Structure 1
Amino acid sequence: MPRRFESTLMQMLPGDPEHGAHRRQVLGAVWSHAPPSPVASPRMLAWSTDMASTLGLSADDMRSDAMLAALSGNALLTGMAPHAANYGGHQFGHWAGQLGDGRAISLGELVNQDGERWELQLKGAGLTPYSRTADGRAVLRSSIREFLCSEAMHHLGVPTTRALSLVATGEQVVRDMFYDGHPEAEPGAIVCRVAPSFLRFGSFELPASRGDIDLLRLLADVCILRDFPELLAHPGASFGQLRQDGVFDENLYATWFSQVCERTAAMVAHWMRVGFVHGVMNTDNMSILGLTIDYGPYGWIDDYDPDWTPNTTDAQGRRYRFGWQPRVAHWNLSRLAQALSPLFASVEPLQAGLDAYVAAYDRAERGNIVNKLGLADYREDDAELMQALQGLLHEGEVDMTLWFRGLADLDVRSPGLEAVDAAFYDEAKRRACGEALAGWMQRYAARLRDDPLPARERRARMDAANPKYVLRNYLAQQAIDRAHEGDISGVTELMEVMRRPYDEQPGREAFAARRPDWAKDRAGCSMLSCSS
């Protein structure tokens, strides 16, 4: 069993001198000591074979008592140094001050057989100094959702944090799911999530808000050294020597910020491609690496609706609705730019980074159009073609995933709606917009007849961009319901399906069906709270 653990942040960045989980403002520090709280009766429910393999962990490793103890917070493996990160953030557009890891505890960085560095973090492992009035625990339903979605997104090709394991704690956790005054005891669980780094925009916002520019600069330097080493051209030099030589200068910071902007653009463009809605795009939930992070009240678009959000907390303002995700990401990057501004003599390099986001997102969106529609290349009027389609999908209450997957079956010589029959939720709305959709099909078929891409290549391109299987909210809820009854097989089966989202998978067609009527307004299948 690999046991080489390191902890770069703890070694290179200042920590909180106080110990204990009591609530406090932590000044001048990036992390606090945070030992996990032991649980009564841990049980391994599931693990990701793909993530385990990447970490160099075998099935025997994952079944071992030592690994169960480590992944439940009951013991530490050699080299683990548990801590919680200190950061702030803008929540729903407003500065919230210090936030930090309230129910996430990092165990350290496992260095695998290829020299890759992966930080392991237990979510739901107990109190930290940043738990505020909460208990630091997580319930089974939210843990299943994060476990499944982390791996599903990876296999969809979306930049994301990963998940290693799902452990039941054997304890009950009290939650008021919809904040309506009706708390209930639910089974507790812990997810081990994995990423090269869990630094986020809010990590930089907090020292900047406090005027701690020395800490801000040090954090930026360590982040570049650890997480963006390709930006450095000084192999073998120590961190101290690099800083002494002035390598970390304004030009490097500008290049780094542009990288963050471009990675963020790529991530959000993938969200839009597959119909994913994050649900709570606060700056403390934005990864500095451009990874999808903190799976809470997320959801997948069923019927295409740019105004839909899965988050009950956002039901009125809909700040984080599907169609606004690209502009919210830009706003969040603007907050990061503001935080980093003390490292620059002028705003021009930061504005250049924000401009790089816009350009990168536009490129990625053009790529989405080309790939989702199966085109050889992009033409200027293709954007209007896609926009016209999206308007009709919204008007006709059409399933986004099923429409685009079915579109590959279109008969270009005799285009009709037969290929997308399964995508309609409401027959009356289908009839109302049927003529307009048929007209769009004629226009699309004409575009294809004028396109040089051979039919077989077109089909392959579309099938690689338009998944057949996504983690629809009702599918996750069905697996949660079964798990609450003691049957974890729904989770493992769903995980297996989501490992190959672009393949046909004969016999598993039920996992590709449109949302059933019973799930349209059911809790867990439509709207979720931040405790979900």
Structure 2
Amino acid sequence: MSASPVSLDQAPFQNSFADALRADPSRELQPRQVPGYHYSPVTPTAVRDPHLLAWSEELAAELGLSRPPTRGPAVEVLAGNRVLPSMRPFAARYGGHQFGNWAGQLGDGRAMGLGELPAPDGRAWEIQLKGAGPTPYSRRADGRAVLRSSLREFLCSEAMHHLGVPTTRALSLVGTGEPVVRDMFYDGNPRPEPGAVVARVAPSFVRFGNFQILAAHGETEQLRELTDYVIGRFFPELGPPSADVYVRFFGDVCRRTAVMVAHWMTVGFVHGVMNTDNMSILGLTIDYGPYGWLEPYQPDWTPNTTDFGTHRYAFGQQPRVALWNLMMLAQALSPLVADVQALRPALDEYVRVFTATRNAQLRRKLGLTRQASVDDAPLLDSLLEALAAAEVDMTVFFRRLAHRVPALLTRPAEADEALEALLTAAAYPESAAEGLRQLREWLGRYLLRLRQEPADAAGIGAGMLAANPKYVLRNYLAAQAIEAAEAGDLAPLNRLFEVLKRPFDEQPEHEELAAKRPEWAREKPGSATLSCSS
């Protein structure tokens, strides 16, 4: 029988990261370099009026926590106003490559780990507050977060989880009652915005950059300590640390990263800022900043205004960037292995696992469950080429295809009409006529292949509906929820949050939340374009 849920302010915390690794002896919060240490002890800065805006019941149940009232001791913990005796709050030290350039020390500038909460199932989850005040790594910032970016992170963390994408989670969204001044697009127009704090949850928030900063400073013993901690806690099946185990550990990180990015590519998620300090060592989607959802299928699209010059982090570049980031991690781990060349096969394994995972997911989205007599890879590759040529809505295309397939298989005489209806539903005004012709041609080849499947038409359609979401967190939907929340209306946020928990269900009462991007949102800031401040 499971234990009764407890209030967060009564929960016992553990501190494996702080216990195992080197702490900065200074408690000064002013921005500074912190050589030789893994983290800095910190204290959250209290806010004026912490109040609960949103809460993830599903994650709370996994953690064994009860929902708190809008104001009270538990919400004070979630805002950083109250630190429990069992907590040892810390800000981690890490570095990273930002847009391909080494940036030196970065670190948790507006995030603070509170420690790990043991869950009823025996797992331990680190709870981290984002926006709870300055740390030694805040550089020129104030360590705070605005409601706009916090709401986006809360919504997307949980939406990705319910889509089945490897991700960090979000437990709560708390308003602070204090304004925060931000220049959203770094264009000289700062303005005060409502402040907020997100409680992020993951087994660990260790990232590639934690290893990189140690290697960059020649801190080999600290590098070994961090690697041994991560392996012992999260990869115990690899055995006691050794040079060979470090190589196998890197291989596991490569495989996990490949699976994560394959999920991104098949649901249309664009991270927007794949710096090495934003890459989880556990293969989880981390740091939801200027992300976006592919609407017209444009591989060179990025939502991040900071990336408009190079499109380094565009949708279609994500698999390559992840591989480059893994190469940077391999460099950081090289002091621990006898032969750096021993790390190279893991990079090849990344490519293999990414391709195999992406193709398996695409086959499932298309209802291709039986191995064909010929390789399906050319069919899948030509689909992606046709989608890019036509620039149709990715989510609508796959979902409508899933609905149409049973009729296409049982009433082939109506196939042409059904396919035209599908393309009309998925097309945008800017969709290319030649691309639509290419997509029609592909659909004809796809139907020939689909008829080789042993399952009946209804079974194929049901399987496709379970693999193709109807609802994703389109940026314009998040923007509408933000505008309402800033005006004090949480209903759009709550409605969107509930719908995104069941992205594969029809939910006809929420049909408008499955609509293509409206024309007004095509160029609107916050709906089409975002920045690292978003």
Q: Give the TM-score band, short-chain normalised.
A: over 0.9
1:53-64 residue pairs with structure 2 within 5 A?
A: 53-59=61-67, 61=68, 63=70
CA contact (8 A) 2:423 2:436 kept: no
The aligned residue for residue 241 of structure 1 is: none
Mapped to 2, the partners of 1:388 and 1:354 lie a distance apart of 26
Unaligned 5+ runs, structure 1: 233-246
Q: Retained in 2: the 8 A contact 1:366–1:378?
A: no
> For the Cα contact (< 8 Å) 1:208–1:339, is it kept in 2?
yes
Matches within 5 A, 1:114-125: 114-125=121-132
CA shift for structure 1 position 419 = 3.2
| 2:353 pairs with 1:360 | yes
Deviations along 1:304-343, one digit per CA (max 9) or x if unpaired, are: 0000001000001000000010010000000000000011
Aligned to 1:482: 484
Structure 2 residue aligned with 1:81 = 88
Alignment match, 1:194: 201
**2:53 aligns to what SS in structure 1?**
strand
Q: Which amino acid aligns with 2:420?
A: L
- 2:21, 2:526 → 1: CA distance? 40
Identity %: 56
Q: Which residue of 1 aligns with 2:459?
A: 457
Tell me the residue number matched to 1:29.
37
Q: Deviations over 1:111-140 (max 9, x none)?
A: 112221000000000000000000100000
Paired position in structure 2 for 1:402: 396
The 1:79–1:182 alpha-carbon spacing in structure 2 relative to 1, beyond 3 Å, is same
Shift of 1:459: 1.7
Q: Does 1:43 align with 2:43?
A: no
CA contact (8 A) 1:402 1:420 kept: no
1:324 counterpart letter in structure 2:
Q
- The answer to whether the 8 Å contact 1:70/1:76 transfers is yes
Pick which of 112-121 and 384-393 moved more: 384-393
- In the alignment of these two chains, the number of paired residues is 516
Give how far 1:382 is off: 2.4
Q: 1:128 aligns with which of 129, 135, 143?
A: 135
Give the 3 Å change call, closer, same or farther, for CA 350–157 of structure 1 in structure 2: same
What is the RMSD of the two structures over their aligned residues, measured on CA atoms? Answer: 1.4
* CA displacement at 1:18 relative to structure 2: 0.8
- The change in CA–CA distance for 1:45 and 1:321 in structure 2 (over 3 A counts) is same
Query: Offset of 1:225 from its aligned partner?
Result: 1.0
Q: Name the structure 2 match of 1:160.
A: 167
1:177-229 Cα deviation digits (max 9, x unpaired): 00111111101000000000000000000110011111101110000111222
Given that residues 3 and 78 in structure 1 are in contact (C-alpha distance below 8 angstroms), is that contact kept between their aligned partners in structure 2?
no
Give distance in 2, aligned partners of 1:273 and 1:231: 30
Aligned AA (1:19)? R
What residue in structure 2 maps to residue 291 of structure 1? 284
Aligned residue identity for 2:266: R
What pairs up with 1:326-345 in 2 under 5 angstroms?
Answer: 326-345=319-338
Moved more, 22-31 or 157-166: 22-31
Residue 425 of structure 2 corresponds to residue 418 of structure 1: no
TM-score computed with the length of structure 1 as normaliser: 0.94
Matches within 5 A, 1:481-520: 481-520=483-522
| CA distance in structure 1 between the aligned counterparts of 2:370 and 2:342, rounded to whole angstroms | 32
Confirm or deny: 8 A CA contact 1:370 1:377 kept in the other structure: no
Aligned to 2:508, what secondary structure does the other structure show? coil
Bigger Cα displacement from structure 2, 152-161 vs 459-468: 459-468
* Partner secondary structure for residue 82 of structure 2: coil
Cα shift at 1:372? 1.5
Residue 442 of structure 1, aligned match among 441, 444, 463: 444
1:301 maps to: 294
TM-score, with structure 2 as normaliser: 0.94
416-425 or 203-212, which deviates more: 416-425
Give 2:19's match in structure 1, choosing from 11, 30, 36: 11
